[in-house]
Amino acid sequence: MMNCPRVVGLGLAAGAAIFSLTGLMAQPSDSVDDSNIPAEVQKQHQVFAAKCSRCHDASRALTAKYHGEAQWRDLVDRMARKPGAGISRKDQAAITSFLVFHEQAATGGPKPRPVTASSGADKGPGDASGYPAEEQKRYKLFSEKCSRCHDTSRALTAKYHGEAQWRDLAVRMARKPGAAINRRDVNDITSFLVFHEQQNGGSGAKGTAAVAGDNTVETAPAGASTNNTATEGGLRVEVEALPAQPLTLPADGQWTNEAPAEGETAFISVRLYDQASGEKLPYATIRARVGGEAGPAAKTLRPLFGDKGFFYGANFAAPAGDLPVSLQVEPPSLGRVHDEGQRWSGPVSFQLTLRGR
């Protein structure tokens, strides 16, 4: 029994020696034994310990379930924005490198080493190191603004497709209290998210190329729904053709169901945006004609909403194949504030062709 402390001590020493092969040994408190790790990582650990213990126990970060450089960088960036954090850009780089090293060591990764922002290791959804310089600037803005409220990976992995949907997301986020996202920021963030989607195999990478000069848009293969945009007169429209849809409508204080009329084969939906701000515009009057001049008479689209938000739509008797769509959009009868330029004071017309129906 007298030898027990000696045996236990030897066992602990052996355990520490084995763990030191990874270069790091985490303790249950906010301390880390950095005596056996590279000198550069020791310095990074000291910055981490000094800065991150100001607001909470540093062990919270050491046991957090983040993986890869991009996620750790997002975490550190959000923490740096906390009041009184006192974490500079240089500090952020050092803390991120340390946390990546710590994760690699703790998970038994092969030959853990310090990771810098330019190393290219552990590229995650937030890695933009290979993007053009202009997109890297937009990514920096996106990361700065969007990390104020949440981890930026939420947006980078969201299931949105095409400029209209990404812009709608950016506009909604800009309305959040404290977001501090202006109209120019919305445009830059939207551009980055569209580019990011394209680089990661999203629908914007191919199959949706606008034809200059005539608002004709190449779209999805035959049999798929179409989703096309055009701009004119300070407005942007997003037009979609689907199979004819049943509608649920209010009538005399009750809800009634309206089935497509005989011969109606297509449902045309239109989303209307202010081109400058990216905001959806309600209360407009939109008349649509499909199939060209020989097609059915123009029809006024109903204001509707559903799982894709607010839009205008109606069922049509539409021919198969390429579908010409003509739209006339009239402004709502609303008063104006700070709109001395009268950006939208009269009807605006759009001509589109939905391909491959």
- Over residues 3-32, the pLDDT tens digits come to 554 444 444 444 443 344 344 444 434 456
User: Is residue 55 in some structural domain?
Assistant: yes
Question: What's the average model confidence in pLDDT over 155-164?
Answer: 80
Rounded to the nearest 10 degrees, the angle between the axes of helix 89-106 and helix 68-80 is: 140
Please indicate, yes or no, whether residues 319 and 242 belong to a single structural domain of this protein: yes
Whether 53 has a pLDDT exceeding 60, the answer reads yes
Check residue 34 and give its pLDDT. Answer: 64
Mean pLDDT lowest for which of 72-76, 161-165, 269-273, 292-296?
292-296
CATH number at residue 278: 2.60.40.2480
The pLDDT-based confidence of 136 (bands split at 50, 70, 90) is: confident
Share of residues in the chain with pLDDT > 90 (%): 18
Last residue of a domain, one of 171, 205, 239: 205
Q: Is the pTM of this model over 0.75?
A: no
Q: Which residues of 316-344 are buried (b: 16+ CB within 10 A; e: fewer)?
A: bbbbeeebbbbbebebeeeeeeeeeeeeb
Q: How crowded is residue 211: how many other Cβ atoms within 10 Å of its Cβ?
A: 10
User: Is residue 302 in some structural domain?
Assistant: yes
Check residue 313 and give its pLDDT. Answer: 95
Check residue 126 and give its pLDDT. Answer: 59
Q: Are 268 and 316 in contact (CB under 8 A)?
A: yes
Domain with 43 in it: 14-106
Check residue 9 and give its pLDDT. Answer: 45
Whether 40 has a pLDDT exceeding 80, the answer reads yes
C-alpha span between 291 and 353 (Å, rounded):
9
Beta strands (DSSP E) in 138-292 are 226-232, 235-243, 247-251, 254-258, 266-274, 285-290
The pLDDT-based confidence of 1 (bands split at 50, 70, 90) is: very low
Name which residue leads in pLDDT, 255 or 212. Answer: 255
Q: Is 114 left (phi over 0), alpha (psi -120 to 50) or beta?
A: beta
N-to-C CA span, the chain: 85
